[in-house]
Structure 1
């Protein structure tokens, strides 16, 4: 495993660890376990310092997070690596009702955290959020049928009023793990600034599109214009990211969009 080889004894010692690094499955397959800690390479040092500082300060009630382990010098990134406590948990497909409950507890705790210092790294997901919230236009490079399809969805969004925003986890569906003895575990915090209802909408849309949840799970969210708008923006977010990754492959894009088709049809059945 190439990544593990880069883990020098100095890096381990900087986190107060010693022992063998065992590769962990899942995620980007770059994480390794040493003793009861998980180390993974930092993609963006400044961003990770900020995010891990928040996770370190949380006092979770009703859920768990993997508590970051600071290095001996007090920083959360040491020589390009981050470290957190190993926490048991397994992914469960669907289970949206329980995941929504956990999401609400987590977002309640995030609500008071100032986000002025937050700068989102520029990656396809952050671009997808900006397209969904109309702070960035559709990229000119999208194939015309893809642009037209996304423009059609954007045309249905009401741009009414300022919504209360806060830090949210924009990718919860596969990142809430369960354990028979312990509370649910939230992993891979991917923060963005948006309404809490948008995070819930992404969670529910992902469960329906990707995890085999019934369309009726939309009923777990309030059936009002505000939540319908959040669902629409959630779909636009996912399909904008999909369009970025598909590039010129229009056929692949529309195949991926099919998973969200029932949600789009359901939302279209309401009068604007």
Structure 2
């Protein structure tokens, strides 16, 4: 979103006189010490704000939500939180470690009701990856590989819980400070799967070394966690309208390496 939050929204979150600045991890607008982002789903945005407000994780900086002057989390389609410094860096093992710490803290959260209503690309891809429903996958943009690897699926004896399923590129680093997170993309899957999604993304698009997939092999049922993470990303790619053959190359590379493990 290239349009900054309107003045009445900034005023509601206590940043009436601040000049909005679009920051690189957009669409986020910094207004002094408050950051504002669009909220496409008010129910989900309110859940994220409340969850991050109550969450305390060792060695992790969390952008705390900002309530509006009348106590709301969402105003005019915008949600506010405290600005935290940092940028995404290729420190992928640290991101995996942060994922595991984060999900120790979310293990007892109840499953959000809005997950039942999701019908976007990522929700469809998630359900397809776990064999819960079929999706119209583009054969040339991931569907063929998806079918090949889906045949290797096995039952996973791991506990599903609330996890952040999109941490790659969304964990912020600045110097020696603890990693920071500013949002939460909720799924109800095993914590090992969420860690594996980071690994798949890092291999596919982050230039991570091939050994990253093996460095976390001590996690329970790691081969199947990796497989389901790969299937998820293949399904997203095969469903997403902006996918291209060029962006597929990274997933093909990751699939080749993961194929040697699963």
TM-score by length of 1: 0.86
* Aligned with 1:166 (options 154, 161, 179): 161
State the match for 1:258 in structure 2.
249
Distance 2:249 2:218 in 1: 23
Structure 2 SS opposite 1:259: helix
- How much does 1:36 deviate? 0.6
Structure 2 SS opposite 1:90: coil
State the match for 2:213 in structure 1.
218
**1:37 paired to 2:34:** yes
**Cα gap change, 1:171 to 1:269, in 2 (>3 Å):** same
Q: How many correspondences in the alignment?
A: 261
Distance 1:256 1:145 in 2: 9
Measured against aligned partners, the alpha-carbon deviations of 1:12-62 in whole angstroms (never above 9, x if no partner) come to 2322232133222324x4322212101122111111111111111112321
Aligned residue runs from structure 1 range 134-149, under 5 A: 134-139=131-136, 142-143=138-139, 146-149=142-145
Distance 1:66 1:169 in 2: 15
Instruction: Extract unaligned runs of 5+ from structure 1.
Output: none
Distance 1:184 1:235 in 2: 25
- How much does 1:239 deviate? 1.4
Aligned residue runs from structure 1 range 155-194, under 5 A: 155-158=151-154, 160-180=155-175, 182-194=177-189
TM-score by length of 2: 0.89
Distance 1:269 1:87 in 2: 39
Aligned residue runs from structure 1 range 34-73, under 5 A: 34-73=31-70
* Aligned with 2:200 (options 205, 210, 215): 205
Distance 1:15 1:157 in 2: 47
State the match for 2:226 in structure 1.
231
Measured against aligned partners, the alpha-carbon deviations of 1:125-164 in whole angstroms (never above 9, x if no partner) come to 121111111112131x634785443212111111x25530
State the match for 1:245 in structure 2.
240
Distance 2:80 2:141 in 1: 44
- How much does 1:77 deviate? 0.2
**1:96 paired to 2:92:** yes
Structure 2 SS opposite 1:82: strand
- How much does 1:168 deviate? 0.7
Distance 1:224 1:183 in 2: 23
- 1:96 and 1:207 in contact (8 A); partners too: yes
- Name the Cα RMSD after superposition: 2.4
- How much does 1:118 deviate? 4.0
- How much does 1:262 deviate? 3.8
**Cα gap change, 1:172 to 1:246, in 2 (>3 Å):** same
- How much does 1:246 deviate? 4.9
Measured against aligned partners, the alpha-carbon deviations of 1:170-221 in whole angstroms (never above 9, x if no partner) come to 1112111111253110133111110000001010111111111111111221
